[in-house]
Amino acid sequence: MSSSALKNHNSLYRSSIAISISLPLANYFVWVWGAPPAWLLMVIICVNGSIVLGAVGLKKDWLLLGILLYLVVVSLSNPNVGWDPRSLWFFHAKRIFLEGGLYTRLEHYYPNPYPSLFSAFAASLASFHGVWTEQVPKLSSLFFLMPVFLLIRQVSRSSTLTWLWFLLLLLVAGIKLINGYQDPLLGLYLVIYIFLMNETNLNKPFNQLDRGSVFVLFSLLGVMLSLPLLKNEGLAMLLTLVLASCVAQRRLHLTLWVFTGLSIAMWWLTWQQQLNITGVKDGLMSGGISGIFERVSDRILQVWPVIEVAVAMAEKSLGWLIAYWVAWRWANRRGANRRGAKDDSLVSNFMHQTLLWWALLYSGILFVIYVSTPADLTWHLNTSVGRTMMPLNIALSTFTLFLLRDKILAWFGTTSAVPAIVKPKQ
């Protein structure tokens, strides 16, 4: 591929990722002011369709289209099962659709503090359809999956590796990927964040960035804005990711902290402030700070609840953590044996350190949440730990696969065919 064609190829993917991340956010911010017009969703659908067709046309790349069509068929042909999607995200979407306002769901029957980025998009799909159904709003997941599919397709450099990644994603997330659960989306946005942070140069002045780098920067901001608006855990994920990436680079980036401040401000102004106004509180905060400390101290003194939480969390993710660590050691040993050769790794040392620091910080927060839960601890673990650990499992499985890229391609007798947009930081 010529340098000009390569530049156009990378620019298309970078701009497509930035646009696909921004569209659900645009829909949400319109809902903040009132019900969006029907033409807005038509524009969003047409833009996403153009992105897919653009990716297909540039390299005759039918893989992305095939994956999306498969998910459309699976989504429309399966019932909307699971307590969380039916009783939380899609129930919220139905109230937003029927009552015509983002905040009406905070009043009267069954108010709760879960954010509405996903539910607002599902409500827009229902409004475009003209009637509430069980199936059409489920397609909302595809619009949130689009940016990570674009990123993985470009970064993987191989149709084989992309297919294997998608199958691995189905193994980890299952039907939750398209049934309205937010945990897979958090995991995939985590993957996007790490790849984008690996590529972007936060030290370079904005006016000196090329067009592709500007798109990467806007994509990073879009991911950071989306995390706290997807789910309550997204705020903790945002803060721990920023801390982890700063520790990994051993420096504080002003741009990154400005983005963090903007993300928290948007979350506060468009959601948390409304919760305060309507008096809706998170059940985990029952009894306030004093109640949390009391529950934590009681369970720590009992010892067994601490062990129960640690075992439950380890049971869900320890296998993936071991697999990732083995793959990282193998990749490093292979790199040492090929000293002087061109670095073709898809997982840089910065990405590795960011992932591990984030895993430590985020798991620590989840541990404290479980130990301080006002609910029965065993029930809380049985009904949620598999979901709350899913973002970590998605990230670990993704980077494990990419660390083993050369070995996998050798097994299948293929080589990389698509140039990557990511140039690993050292």
Q: Which residues contact 386 (CB under 8 A, 6 or more apart)?
A: 316
For residue 317, pLDDT beyond 90: yes
For residue 18, pLDDT beyond 70: yes
Kindly state whether residue 417 falls inside one of the protein's structural domains.
no
Query: Which domain does 339 fall in, by range?
Result: 3-412
Least confident span in 297-311, 368-382, 385-399, 412-426: 412-426
Query: Which tops the pLDDT comparison, 367 or 249?
Result: 367
* The pLDDT value given to residue 292: 83
* The pLDDT value given to residue 2: 46
Kindly state whether residue 355 falls inside one of the protein's structural domains.
yes
Q: What is the DSSP letter of 111?
A: -
* The pLDDT value given to residue 79: 80
For residue 255, pLDDT beyond 90: no
Distances (CA, A) of 304 to 301, 312, 314, 371: 9, 12, 15, 11
* Closest CA relative to residue 286, chosen from 362, 372, 366, 228: 372
List, as one string, the DSSP characters of 275-318.
HHHHT---GGGTTHHHHHHHHHHHHHHHSHHHHHHHHHHHHHHH
Tens of pLDDT, residue by residue over 130-142, are 899 888 999 999 9
Report which listed range, 88-92, 159-163, 315-319, is most confident. 315-319
Q: What is the mean pLDDT of the chain?
A: 86
* Closest CA relative to residue 230, chosen from 196, 257, 263: 263
Kindly state whether residue 280 falls inside one of the protein's structural domains.
yes
For residue 56, pLDDT beyond 90: no
Kindly state whether residue 419 falls inside one of the protein's structural domains.
no
For residue 416, pLDDT beyond 70: no
Kindly state whether residue 424 falls inside one of the protein's structural domains.
no
* The pLDDT value given to residue 233: 93
* The pLDDT value given to residue 116: 92
Tens of pLDDT, residue by residue over 78-131, are 888 788 888 889 999 999 999 888 988 787 766 678 999 999 999 999 999 889
Residue 357 token pair: 């620091």
Q: How many domains does the chain have?
A: 1
Helix (H, G, I), strand (E, B) or coil at 46: helix
For residue 3, pLDDT beyond 70: no
For residue 201, pLDDT beyond 80: no
Kindly state whether residue 227 falls inside one of the protein's structural domains.
yes
* The pLDDT value given to residue 341: 43
- Note whether 346 and 195 are within 8 A (CB): no
Categorize the per-residue pLDDT at 342 as very low, low, confident or very high, splitting at 50, 70 and 90. very low
* The pLDDT value given to residue 57: 67
* The pLDDT value given to residue 340: 44
Kindly state whether residue 311 falls inside one of the protein's structural domains.
yes
Kindly state whether residue 418 falls inside one of the protein's structural domains.
no
Looking at the chain, the whole-number percentage of residues with pLDDT higher than 90 is 54
* The pLDDT value given to residue 9: 61
Tens of pLDDT, residue by residue over 164-200, are 999 999 999 999 999 999 999 999 999 999 999 998 8
